[in-house]
Amino acid sequence: MKQREDKRDAEMEPKLSKHFREVFHDGSEKNFECHPFNRRFAYTKKSFFPIEPRNLRTLGVNRKRKKKRGRGDKGPGKGIREKHKHRKSGRPNSRTFESGRTPLYRRLPKWPEAWLSRQKKNYDCLNLCKLRYFIEKGRLDVRFPITQRHLHDSKCVKVKNGVKLFNVNDYPFPYKIDIEVATADQSSIDVIKKVGGTVTIVYMERINLRAHIKPYKFEILPRTARPNLDAIHYLEKMRSRGCLVKYIKPLWLIEEEKRIINELTEVEESSKLCPEETDSSWGDTEDEQKRRERLLRAYRLQNTQVDGALGV
């Protein structure tokens, strides 16, 4: 019974000619499907671009019924209309004109400019002058580190995407503070470091920032997210500008640092970096951070000497 039903279904299926079948390089077959922008198999010969009202595929939307006014072309008043037809203002030649309405190319957002503008992160700006005003009024305490939550609770700035600290015309800042923000410009960093303060750049995703500012809205606080490659590049650039950077290193970055340190250690053991020194000159009490800085310094020095020799 089942075989009969399968046979009946196979007979009812439309039989396509071999001209409608496509054979791919792996031997599989598939019915022919034309590209959506292929005008050869389109229902209409209208072009897709430029995007204009006359090129839209919305059938019935762009059609306008002509209103009959007067007595028509064959009425007795035709001669008067023919006589004064040149007095009418001519129709504009612009393809985008829509009888005074906002044209389509202005109603639609630009791409990719509009999409890229939405992807850009807009920080909440905080002027260093306003920060100084809040400190002088006693609404911020400089004895403790100032975080973004303190700035939000004191109503110094409404934090939504992260605080951006900036300074105008190198405005003086006499208070020694330790502040944590999302980003800062070079002028504010230099002014705060000049009096002995520090600027810390903290990486927080949107959900982590919300949990940092309003932790009472979360039953379980979310875990801190790790930055991606672009964020790490930006954070390290801020470190080179003189800021302190706080973020959780991704696993691939930890493995890469281990690989680089192992390579530098092997080079040091083979006496390529410092042949005059021996391994016994460095004791076992040297911590990992100092050892890493020493290896990187020697590596940069070697590259500088090689470049100078090649230049000579």
Q: CB–CB of 162/148 below 8 Å?
A: yes
Rounded to the nearest integer, the mean pLDDT of the chain is 78
pLDDT at 57 over 70: no
pLDDT at 288 over 80: no
Interval 127-134 mean pLDDT? 95
Q: What is the per-residue pLDDT across 270-283, written as a single tens digit (0 to 9) for each?
A: 765 555 554 445 55
Residue 63 domain-assigned (yes or no): no
Q: What per-residue confidence (pLDDT) applies to 301?
A: 58
pLDDT at 157 over 90: yes
Interval 58-85 mean pLDDT? 59
Residue 160 domain-assigned (yes or no): yes
Residue 78 domain-assigned (yes or no): no
Residue 280 domain-assigned (yes or no): no
* Contacting residues for 20 by C-beta, under 8 A, at least 6 apart: 31, 32
Distance, in Å, from the CA atom of 242 to the CA atom of 237, rounded to the nearest integer, reads 9
Q: Which residue range forms the structural domain that includes residue 188?
A: 124-251
Residue 195 domain-assigned (yes or no): yes
Residue 132 domain-assigned (yes or no): yes
pLDDT tier, 109 (very low <50, low <70, confident <90, very high otherwise): confident
What count of other Cβ atoms lies within 10 Å of the Cβ of residue 76?
7
pLDDT at 144 over 90: yes
Residue 257 domain-assigned (yes or no): no
Q: CB–CB of 286/295 below 8 Å?
A: no
Question: pTM of the full predicted structure?
Answer: 0.57
Q: What per-residue confidence (pLDDT) applies to 86?
A: 58
pLDDT at 302 over 60: no
How many distinct structural domains can be found in the chain?
1
Distance, in Å, from the CA atom of 234 to the CA atom of 247, rounded to the nearest integer, reads 12
Residue 169 domain-assigned (yes or no): yes
What 3-state class would DSSP assign to 144? Answer: coil
